[in-house]
Amino acid sequence: MKCPVDGETLVVTERSGVEIDYCPTCRGVWLDRGELDKIIERIDGPRQAPPPQHRHDDRWDDDDDDWDDRRSRSRRPRKRESLLGELFDMFD
């Protein structure tokens, strides 16, 4: 299949069960019939909450008895990548 923008041959890839056609030149993305519905179903589908993490708060454990905010910023958990980010990571 040819890219409707620049006529380049499209590359077909599958990400998370969704077939994606993309142009390596202009980076345009095209989906076949029903593929967008699959993406929407996955986004709207049931989500599981992460398990609670029980951890000792050591920001109070130093000798001066005050809150050490520098430690709290460096230990924030990283945000999980979204489904769309996961699907279109071919451009990274």
Q: Where are the domains of the chain?
A: 1-44
Residue 22 has pLDDT above 90, yes or no: yes
Long-range contacts of 86-92 (CB under 8 A, 24+ apart): 86/15, 86/16, 87/15, 87/16, 87/18, 87/20, 87/39, 88/15, 88/20, 88/29, 89/15, 90/13, 90/15, 90/20, 90/22, 91/27
CA-based nearest residue to 42, from 12, 87, 80, 11: 87
**pLDDT tens digits, residue range 40-78?**
888 876 666 777 776 655 555 555 555 555 555 555 566
pTM, entire model? 0.49
* C-beta separation of 22 from 28 below 8 A: yes
